[in-house]
A and B are shown apart, each in its own frame.
Chain A
Amino acid sequence: MNEEDEIITKIPIRLSNRLSLQIHQFPLLSRPLQAPPSAEASGKRITARIKPQSRVLEIHVPVDTRPEVYNTERGHELGKGQQDDDREQNQERKGKGREGEEPRLAEVRLRSEEIPQRGVQMLGIVHENELHLHPVSAIHQFRPTLTYLDIISRKSRRRGGDDSDSDSDDGPPPDPDEPAPTAAPPKKEKKTAAGEAKEVQVSARRIDDKAGNLSQLSNARKEMLAIIRAEQEESWQNLEFCGMTTEEAGHSLDQFFSYNNEELHCSTDVTTFLTTAPKT
């Protein structure tokens, strides 16, 4: 940078941290997040819900259900699957509208994953010729969940009757390094030839091996399973989704800015960037 470089403008920077700010990324979406006009006309809105402890959010976006762009029969099949999936996870929405009508898949569920931050993310807005900064507390990426497909495929697999591994309650399949579960016979139950299928819940239990290091592996696995279990058992809390143009959003935006004119004192130095060990 040569010394002849002169400063053209200099704007003050202000910091505030009143809000709990998050960044939501939608990697598979390149259009604004909006309900299609046909859905809005019929009263559907974007809704959201959260599991606070597990830090998982879901955003439900209504889908365009016009017959030109929506396959109604498939919508009914998938809707049924989604209803079963909800019922299984005890998340069924109570009493939504007409009971007699078959459910259909009328929304896309975007589920979030929290992304670890690199460095410190700050949101900046230039307001009245000043740059206002605000730290970001979390970054979430949203992708559609298709768990209703799992239910549907599970049913069709059971109906087909082949010996595939349908999951029992415990999530991940057995570790290939560890000895195969000995409980082979109780693993499957086929439906009786005449009529209805009997579904039996089975759990595969593994006999303890002599090798001692197995316990460490299963400890880590137990933790993972515990996390998964905790997340599944936590119930959703509904959130009110306020779009960009709503009043609540405007109110939040007002809270974003820094209003104090006082100069804050900085107590660290440039060198802390190098001397402080980076946090992973």
Chain B
Amino acid sequence: MSDNASGSASKPKAISSLAKRPSEVTRQGTQKIKFVPTLPARRNKDVEPTLDIIPALSNDRGRGRGRGRGEGSGRGRGGPRPPAEMVASGPFALGPAMAGTSSSRRFAQAATPIATPSRTEASSLGAGLSQAAAPKIKQESKKEEQDEEAYSDPDEGVEIIDMENVRQMDWMAPDSLRKEKEKRLKKEDPDASERGTRIMDAPDEEDDEADGRELETMFDDDFGTTNHDEANVSQHLYLFQFPSPFPTFSTKGSDNVQEETPLTQASKKVTFAPDVKVETEVQPSSRGPSVPAEIKEELDGLIGHLEVYRSGARKIRLGNGIVLDVSPASQPSFLEHAVHLDMHENKLAILGEIFRHYLVSPDVDALLAAMDALDSGPQTVLAGEENLIRMDIT
């Protein structure tokens, strides 16, 4: 401010914007008083008289003053307001833009319960609502208990609606957007035994911290913060995307026949040796290598192991040295059903909603080692050549 005191005669050292500022000097040459809002974002009535006291300003300052006062009272709108203004109260006081965030901060009163929107006599809006919420998809249930707001008792004719709980008002009520949680409670690392039962869900927690909280659907911090019990976990449906082609499996004892069964069409990734529908004790060789009646053969058995590491990585180890990495895939935010379509009985049975997506990819180290072995495999080592180095001419 002091730099520009001499007006246009001196060149200002730093030009922050090329727009012409309104001149700092009145026509008489005296210093104009700069308007600086002193009381930001306060809604008291005291603000208005204070602003009035500021001495004569030019016209454009008046506009700014109105805007300043508008901001001072927390409204997003511009324009001057009359000083004798009612202090706004209630959930919609701060204007439409602030409705979503207002509930958490402005109205915390001491220990009064939320006035539920069951006082329907107050407004006709709530008259026909069924007060029963529509259920959510089986995502992690949010930790709404800790965020419930306490409201002051409503006046007559006013119905308090917590914008975050609009969902509970009716079946057809809209979903509110979830707020960003500032911080999550840190859970200490439980022991491995408990982790063992939450195999698929547990190790994502480390990733959670890193990825922040934006995509709540992607990594949900479900380990320890949601109410998963044992029964629930065992019914979660996971979708794994394996690389194609899926390794072919066959039952033991029948792999002497038709080993090079060509990989079938894209939809059936698992090809099979001739049909051996095995019960537990029956010897598969007792049924001869009969001709496979159809392409899709029954398959039922153990194929490998899923290993969970301390670092959180998960690997799938199948037979024949196949090692695959498991990583979380991007989670869809919509509903997905796993469905059994039975054309014989004309039945469409929903098995459940899919909980998480995982992406399975070959473990690169194992893959490269296997490729090396494949490339150098067929060569035989002649006597006396063991110590020689082979030149790679591929």
B-contacting residues of A (Cβ < 8 Å)?
A: 1, 5-34, 36-38, 48, 50, 52, 57, 64, 66-69, 117-129, 131, 133, 135-138, 237-244, 246, 248-249, 251-253, 255-256, 258-276, 278-280
Contacts and interface: CB of A to CB of B under 8 A. Distances in A.
Interface in B252-282: 252, 255, 259, 263, 265-270, 273, 278-280
Contact of A276 (B128, B263, B352, B362): B263
Given A8-B195, A242-B350, 5 more contacts: A8-B308, A23-B337, A25-B335, A68-B128, A260-B302
Contacts of B130: 37-38
A26 B302 contact: no
A236 to B, nearest CB: 11
Nearest to B333: A30
A255 to B, nearest CB: 8
B92 interface: no
B320 A1 contact: no
Contacts, number: 346
A198 to B, nearest CB: 43
B252 A264 contact: yes
Contacts of B196: 8-9
B128 A67 contact: yes
B172 A36 contact: yes
B224 to A, nearest CB: 16
Contact of A273 (B170, B251, B304, B362): B362
Interface of B: 127-130, 132, 134-138, 170-172, 175, 192, 195-197, 199-200, 233-252, 255, 259, 263, 265-270, 273, 278-280, 296, 298-311, 313, 316, 318-323, 332-343, 345-354, 358, 362, 365-367, 370-371, 374
Given A9-B195, A264-B301, A19 B236 contact: no
Contacts of B132: 37
A125 B299 contact: no
A123 B239 contact: yes
Given A15-B270, A118-B241, A246-B349, A263 B307 contact: no
A125 B239 contact: no
B197 to A, nearest CB: 8
A18 B298 contact: yes
A30 B353 CA distance: 11
16 contacts: A18-B298, A22-B340, A22-B341, A24-B336, A50-B341, A121-B241, A121-B242, A123-B338, A124-B239, A133-B303, A241-B348, A241-B350, A249-B349, A268-B245, A274-B367, A279-B265
A56 to B, nearest CB: 12
Contacts of B240: 121-124, 133
A253 to B, nearest CB: 5
B250 A131 contact: no
A122 B358 CA distance: 10
Contacts of A241: 348, 350
Contacts of A48: 348
A269 B370 contact: yes
